[in-house]
């Protein structure tokens, strides 16, 4: 079996387990393991600096050392002044004619028989909301103005569907890697009932489209989502990438019955430090494999795809593959 085949075996939760190693071994050895498309670059990745204004009128920061493109939203610069009048403030940017040649060339250089091709789509439904208004206002609006939030999520889902259509039509990926953090490190941002009321119907629509197009869904949420894992199954999410050990991963494995591949389990907060030792890093990888691999539908990886302290990542990858092979060999005795 080649790497793509063994990854698909893990995705299907086949027994006995055929491979245990770093979750992205079957993906291109490029940053974030994704083929960066021109829509992602135009929408987010082109912006740098202390206070860049994006295509939505939002203020974002991206400086060296930042973990990502951070929304900087306050009373003075927020786009949505009143959620009940969001249509007056939100101007959905028209996706321009873009040059897809670099992304196509990258994919043409990938052996698709042995390697998974994944393209990203950043800023999920909740994330976009708190890019346009202060975070606490977005949270309060879920409870105080649920109808307006539902309508905004629906309109944004329509916009995302246009993005997904272009990505799939043009690049024909195996996997769509999407982002939406629904919690902090220790709790959901909202109740499961509120998630089901306001977000789940729109995700059912956009993820349903992706699945109909024959593309797998990798939902990135490096946060706490315990309590809505069965909803992830309902939505057709194939992979929950970034699952933190602050979640009850063993319980989640039982609740999802192998229907969602859990990618993560490594506590990045413990190892992604300038003073982290190699023994600490390798020990955390071994803890994750020993604890979660027996439950199946699990592959270890870094929650945020890349560590801020760059020396950590290759040690994690090496230990996942080295100890993963050792762990698997023990199961086969």
The secondary structure of residue 36, as a DSSP letter, is -
pLDDT tens digits for 182-237?
999 999 999 999 999 999 999 999 999 999 999 999 999 999 999 999 999 999 99
Kindly indicate the confidence band of residue 31, based on its pLDDT and cuts at 50, 70 and 90. Answer: confident
**What mean pLDDT value characterizes the chain?**
96
Give mean pLDDT, residues 254-271. Answer: 97
What is the DSSP secondary-structure string of 76-120? TT-S-S-GGGHHHH--PPPPPP---HHHHHHHHTS-TTTS--EEE
Under 8 Å between Cβ of 263 and 23: yes
Instruction: Decide if pLDDT at 85 tops 80.
Output: yes
Give mean pLDDT, residues 127-146. Answer: 98
Give mean pLDDT, residues 297-304. Answer: 95
pLDDT above 70 covers a percentage of the chain that reads 100
Report the distance separating Cα 114 and Cα 116, nearest Å. 7
| Cα 90 to Cα 18, 65, 129, 186, 263, distances in angstroms | 49, 30, 10, 31, 35
The residue ranges of every structural domain in the chain are 3-331
Kindly indicate the confidence band of residue 6, based on its pLDDT and cuts at 50, 70 and 90. Answer: very high
Under 8 Å between Cβ of 40 and 121: yes
Please write down the HEC assignment for all residues of 237-287: CCEEEEECCCCCHHHHHHHHCCCCEEEEECCHHHHCCCCCCHHHHHHHHHH
Kindly indicate the confidence band of residue 329, based on its pLDDT and cuts at 50, 70 and 90. Answer: very high
Per-residue confidence (pLDDT) for residue 46, from 0 to 100 = 96
Instruction: Decide if pLDDT at 100 tops 90.
Output: yes
Per-residue confidence (pLDDT) for residue 66, from 0 to 100 = 86
* Burial (0-12, 13-18, 19+ Cβ within 10 Å), 104: middle
The secondary structure of residue 37, as a DSSP letter, is -
pLDDT above 90 covers a percentage of the chain that reads 95
CATH class of 3-331: alpha beta
Give mean pLDDT, residues 307-311. Answer: 92
Rounded to two decimals, the pTM is: 0.96
């Amino acid at each position: 079996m080649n790497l793509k085949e063994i990854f698909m075996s893990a995705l299907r939760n086949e027994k006995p387990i055929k491979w245990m190693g770093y979750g992205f071994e079957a993906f291109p050895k490029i940053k974030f393991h994704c083929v960066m498309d021109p829509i992602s670059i135009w929408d987010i990745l082109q912006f740098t600096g202390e206070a860049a204004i994006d295509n939505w009128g939002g203020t974002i920061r991206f400086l060296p050392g930042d973990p990502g493109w951070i929304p900087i939203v306050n009373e003075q610069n927020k786009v949505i002044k009143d959620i009940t009048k969001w249509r007056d403030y939100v101007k959905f940017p028209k996706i321009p004619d873009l040059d897809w040649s670099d992304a196509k060339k990258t994919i043409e250089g990938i052996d698709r028989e042995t390697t998974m091709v994944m393209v990203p789509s950043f800023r999920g439904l909740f994330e976009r909301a708190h890019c346009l208004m202060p975070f606490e206002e977005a949270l309060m609006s879920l409870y105080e103005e649920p109808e307006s939030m539902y309508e905004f999520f629906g309109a944004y889902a329509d916009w995302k569907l246009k993005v997904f259509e272009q990505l799939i039509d043009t690049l024909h990926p195996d996997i769509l890697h999407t982002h939406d953090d629904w919690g902090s490190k220790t709790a959901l941002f909202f109740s499961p009932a509120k998630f089901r009321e306001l977000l789940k119907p729109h995700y059912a629509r956009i993820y349903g489209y992706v699945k109909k197009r024959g593309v797998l869904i990798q939902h990135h949420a490096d946060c706490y989502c315990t309590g809505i894992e069965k909803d992830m199954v309902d939505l057709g999410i194939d992979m929950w990438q970034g699952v933190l050990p602050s979640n009850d991963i063993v319980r989640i494995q039982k609740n999802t019955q192998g229907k969602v591949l859990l990618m993560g389990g490594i506590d990045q907060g413990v190892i992604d430090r300038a003073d982290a030792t190699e023994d600490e890093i390798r020990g955390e990888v071994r803890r994750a494999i020993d604890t979660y691999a027996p439950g199946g539908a699990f592959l270890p990886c870094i929650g945020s795809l890349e560590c801020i302290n760059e020396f950590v990542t290759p040690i994690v990858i090496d230990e996942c593959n080295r100890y993963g092979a050792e762990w698997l060999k023990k199961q086969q005795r």
